[in-house]
Amino acid sequence: MFKAIVSASTLRNALDSVSVLVDECKIRLNEDEFGVRAVDPANVGMVDLTLEAAAFESYEADGGVIGVNLNRLEDIAGMAGSGDLIHLELDEETRKLHIQVEGLSYTLALIDPDSIRQEPDIPQLDLPASVVIEGAQLNRGIKAADMVSDHIALRVDEAEEAFYIEAQGDTDDVDLKLEREDMIDITVGAADSLFSLDYLKDMNKAIPKDAEVTIDLGEEFPVKLHYEFAEGLGHVTYMLAPRIQSD
C-alpha cells in the first residue's frame, strides 16, 4: 500500500538526486520514509536518498518496493508547477503508479524490481577530513575545473586549514582555495584525491546552490558528499570512487 501527496519541488529534488546517476531504480516505500539507494553501472558513483514521511503533505506506506523508470517519473513531475501538489497512489493489482497533477492523470507502468541492479552496500570508510561549504561554492569550483580538465582534485591543506578544488589541463590550470573563514566548517586531516569530473558534474547538478554540503575526504579515497533538502527532511549522500595514479 502506498498513497502520498507531495509538493512538486520536493519530489523533483528527490528524483533529480538519483536520476543523475541511474535511469531506473528501486524505491523503498517504508512506513516512515521513502528511500532509494543506487549505484551507476560502472560502480563508481552511489546515491543514498531518504525522504522522511514528514516531508510529504500526507504519506501512507507499508514497506513495499517498486521499480521505476526515473526519466518517466521526472517528466510527469515536470508537468507540475513548483507550488503544485502531486498525488501518488500505487495500484497493487496492476502494479501501476497512478499520478495526479492539477487535473492531469497519469498511469505509470512499474518495472519489476528484480530486474533492477541490486542495491549496493555502503562502503564503510574512515575519512579523516571534512569540510562544509555552500552548494554554490562547490558549483563554482566544478565549473572552473570543467573549463580545463576531465579530472578534479579535492584536497585539504592541513597547515593552511584550507580546502582546495584543483584541476590541471593539458595547458591550463585552475584552482579554487577556500580558507576557514570562507567555509561553514572544516575538520582538517590528510586528504587529497582525484575524481572524474563527469560524475561530480552530474552530482553537482542535483545539489541545490543554497544547500550546505558536507564533503568527507581522504588520501586517494572515495569522497562522500552529503546535503539536505525539503527543510532538512530529505537527505542525500553521494559516494564517488577516486581515480588513482598508478604506481
Partner 1 sequence: MGNSDLRSLASISEIPFSELEGSVVAVDAHNWLYRYLTTTVKWTNDEIYTTESGDEVANLIGVVQGLPKFFEHDMVPIFVFDGGVTELKDDEVERRREQRRDAEKQLEEAKERGDSVAAARLEARTQRLTDVIQTTTRELFDILDVPYVEAPAEGEAQAAYMNRIGDVDYVGSEDYDTLLFGAPRTLRQITSKGNPELMDLDKTLTKHDITYEQLVDVGILCGTDFNDGVRGIGPKTAIKLITAHGDLFSVLEARGKHVPHADRIRELFFNPPVTDNYEIETAITPDVAAARTYVTEQWEIDASEVARGFERIESSIVQTGLDNWG
Summarize as ranges the residues that interact with partner 1 (CB under 8 A).
39, 42-46, 120, 122-125, 151, 194, 196, 221-222, 239, 241-247
For residues 1 and 125, which CB has a smaller minimum distance to partner 1 in the complex? 125
For residues 109 and 244, which CB has a smaller minimum distance to partner 1 in the complex? 244
In the complex, the smallest distance separating the C-beta of residue 167 from partner 1, rounded to whole angstroms, is 13
One-letter identity of residue 55: A
In the complex, the smallest distance separating the C-beta of residue 244 from partner 1, rounded to whole angstroms, is 6
In the complex, the smallest distance separating the C-beta of residue 132 from partner 1, rounded to whole angstroms, is 22
CB count within 10 Å of CB 197 equals 19
Half-sphere exposure of 118 (CA within 13 A, CB side): 4
Mapping DSSP to helix (H, G, I), strand (E, B) and coil, where does residue 36 land? strand
In the complex, the smallest distance separating the C-beta of residue 94 from partner 1, rounded to whole angstroms, is 32
For residues 64 and 120, which CB has a smaller minimum distance to partner 1 in the complex? 120
For residues 66 and 200, which CB has a smaller minimum distance to partner 1 in the complex? 200
Closest CA relative to residue 125, chosen from 28, 226, 14, 12: 226
Q: Are 213 and 173 in contact (CB under 8 A)?
A: no
For residues 156 and 239, which CB has a smaller minimum distance to partner 1 in the complex? 239
In the complex, the smallest distance separating the C-beta of residue 72 from partner 1, rounded to whole angstroms, is 25
Cα Rg of the chain, angstroms: 19
Distance of CA 199 to the CA centre of its chain: 11
DSSP string computed for 50-95: EEEGGGSSEEEE-SEEEEEEHHHHHHHHHTS-TT-EEEEEEETTTT
In the complex, the smallest distance separating the C-beta of residue 209 from partner 1, rounded to whole angstroms, is 27
**Bridge partners of residue 151, in order along the sequence:** 196
Q: Are 147 and 166 in contact (CB under 8 A)?
A: no
For residues 97 and 167, which CB has a smaller minimum distance to partner 1 in the complex? 167
In the complex, the smallest distance separating the C-beta of residue 230 from partner 1, rounded to whole angstroms, is 26
For residues 26 and 224, which CB has a smaller minimum distance to partner 1 in the complex? 224
Sign for the CA dihedral angle at 66, 72, 77, 80 comes to negative
